[in-house]
Amino acid sequence: MLPMFSLKQLNSKYPPHAFGRALHTTAALDRVVSFHLSDIGEGIREVTVKEWYVKVGDVVEQFDNLCEVQSDKASVTITSRYDGKIVKLHHDVDGVALVGKPLLDFDVVDEEGDDSGSSSSSDSSSSDEEDTKAAAQQAGQVAAAAATAASGKVLATPAVRRIAMENKVDLSKVPATGRNGRVLKGDVLEFLEVIPKGTVKPHPSLVAKEQRKAEPTAPLDLKQAETVVPLKGVAKAMVRSMTDALKIPHFAYCDEVDVTRLVTVRAELKEEAAARGVKLTYMPFFLKAASNALLQHPILNSSFDESSESVIYKRYHNISVAMQTPQGLVVPNVKNVEQKSILQIAQDLNALQERGAKGALTPNDFANGTFALSNIGIVRTV
């Protein structure tokens, strides 16, 4: 017959720690949570831990400073997402921490009723009476949460509600990331843009729910998502002429010119031009200057005849000018610039602009261009 022991004798003969790891009367409670280094942007994949503000055993609250990390671009202070006690630091000072990997471990304060499946190192045992009481309490909390959710009331702790009230935030408009749709402190701060978007990660149960909701969508028919608009008129002609222009060898040259005297001359001529009903801009001066330059460098006012493989030098300077019209960008030309005065060029340019605004440009306005100028406008450059 086996000897009988009282509970007191059993405890004195076999202390609880002697078999605590071998026997559990209840399931171990997972409370140790790994805090992972979040993505801090700009494509940074690793950082160096420069300073720890906490040590193992310290108790912290949400958004307390944990450490400072240094990337190749900036220093960032990492704050806590949890309330709890620090149980492990995964890196020493000057150690390299990877984005998405554990930075430290918390023994979390389970104020949200969250028993998420993070890694745990705690082992505990309790009496059947305590287990029954805890189970009843948890069931009551779940039932209360379900009833609250059904009634349309937002799930949140009093601390979170206080923050929302102080900042006049409607909690029903704050995206929740906590378990069972609970609004966390971080959700409110993210909504207020106190912390960057994406700082607070959704609870795993929410992520799983979203994945279950996601259904494969039918592949998009690209033909149905496209609209074909045939080119007509000026636009069609411009595509053809600009494509042909790309066959010509190109070169670029930049220079800076002092036009102080030009500003003075234009100011002197504006009154005379206005008397003739002509708007005098700087463009007529540039057209005339380009024409004078072409007289000195005629090769720039030539074309290539592919059939005869010869260069055609042109004594007439029909200089094209890009302008915006209701029909799009067009490039008509001012004829025989080399023979005209500044005011005559300005008058012809005004006429082209008026016809362009009315959509009344003719094929002759585009024909036989020999050179082109573009005015970038707001950059004050030609």
Selected residue with higher pLDDT from 218 and 261: 261
- How many angstroms separate the CA atoms of 211 and 232, rounded? 49
Q: What is the pLDDT of residue 215?
A: 58
Q: How far is CA 186 from CA 13, 111, 118, 197, 332, in A?
A: 50, 15, 19, 10, 61
What domains are defined for the chain? 31-108 (2.40.50.100), 158-203 (4.10.320.10), 236-373 (3.30.559.10)
CA distance 57 to 274: 85
From the CB of residue 328, how many other CB atoms can be counted at a distance below 10 Å?
10
State the SS3 of 6-45: CHHHHHHHCCHHHHCCCCCCCCCCCCEEEEECCCCCCCCC
- DSSP-based three-state secondary structure for 46: strand
Output the CA angle 167-171-176, nearest 5 degrees: 120
What is the average pLDDT score of the chain? 76
Per-residue pLDDT tens over the stretch 61-104:
877 889 988 876 567 788 888 888 899 999 999 899 998 899 99
Q: Which residue, chain included where needed, has tokens 């929740």? A: 176
Strands 319-321 and 371-373: parallel
Q: What is the pLDDT of residues 163-178, one digit of tens each?
A: 888 888 888 888 888 7
The enclosing H or E element of 345 equals helix 342-358
Average pLDDT over residues 240-265: 85
In whole angstroms, give the CA distance from residue 76 to residue 199.
13
Q: In the prediction, which pLDDT does 120 show?
A: 36
Quote the pLDDT of residue 125: 38
Q: Is the pTM of this model over 0.75?
A: no
Helices and strands (H and E) in the chain: how many:
11, 15
CB 47 within 8 A of CB 37: yes
The pLDDT, as a whole number, for residue 108 is 80
Among 1-15, 33-47, 109-123, the range of highest mean pLDDT: 33-47
